[in-house]
Amino acid sequence: MSPVQDIKRAELKFVRGNSVALRHASNARSNILGRLNLGKRVMVLAHEGQWSRGRDDLTKREGWLASRFLSDDEPVAKRKKSVVKETVEVKPKISLSVIIKRIIAESIAGYPGTCACPYSTDKRGRKCGSRSAYSKPGGYSPICFAGDVSRSMIEAYN
């Protein structure tokens, strides 16, 4: 395996696949920390062979992704259409609680199973509790509670 090459300035990249694994180490057998979907912004911090160490722009989680799933260009489906308007458009202000709920919902939606959080229910309708990904060390670590959402996550959401 080649040595890690740190980048002097982080590079902004975009995920170009669905449910791309964010891993603990730079190999396909490493624990999965989370999944990133098409168009997700990632700051690339280092390279090692065919792997890139990146930080999720929203959650600020760091991990390794296969470099082939990263692109310099934002996917066309995710680009905002640029429309020239003569009037000033005022965006409604989103409350802090709504932003926190959206961050939690996005994190849970990225989990492939049914037991992301302790309060989730399995296929039989039972609470997941200690069987949830949140309660187990290693592997996925979804954001389940408002206390897990950091100020930097909120600022990145705006």
pLDDT at 89: 67
102 and 137 share one domain: yes
Evaluated on CA atoms 135, 138, 142, 143, the torsion sign reads: positive
Boundary of a domain, candidates 78, 111, 131: 78
Q: Model-level pTM?
A: 0.50
120 and 149 share one domain: yes
pLDDT at 154: 82
pLDDT at 56: 86
13 and 52 share one domain: yes
68 and 102 share one domain: no
pLDDT at 156: 81
106 and 69 share one domain: no
9 and 58 share one domain: yes
Q: From first to last of the 158 residues of the chain, give the pLDDT tens digit.
A: 456 666 667 889 999 888 898 999 999 899 988 888 888 999 999 999 999 999 987 888 899 999 999 998 887 765 555 555 566 666 677 888 898 999 999 888 888 888 999 999 988 889 999 999 998 887 788 899 999 898 888 888 76
Tell me the residue range of the domain where 51 lies. Answer: 5-78
Q: Which has the closest alpha carbon to 153: 75, 49, 57?
A: 57
pLDDT at 117: 93
65 and 102 share one domain: no
Is there a domain that residue 102 lies in? yes
Are the C-beta atoms of residues 104 and 59 closer than 8 Å to each other? no
Boundary of a domain, candidates 19, 49, 78: 78
Q: Is 80 helix (H, G, I), strand (E, B) or coil?
A: coil
Per the structure, the count of domains in the chain is 2
In sequence order, what are the residues at sequence separation of 6 or more whose Cβ sits closer than 8 angstroms to the Cβ of residue 1?
26, 48, 49
Boundary of a domain, candidates 46, 78, 110: 78
CATH of the domain at 52: 2.30.30.40
pLDDT at 152: 85
Is there a domain that residue 86 lies in? no
9 and 66 share one domain: yes
pLDDT at 153: 86
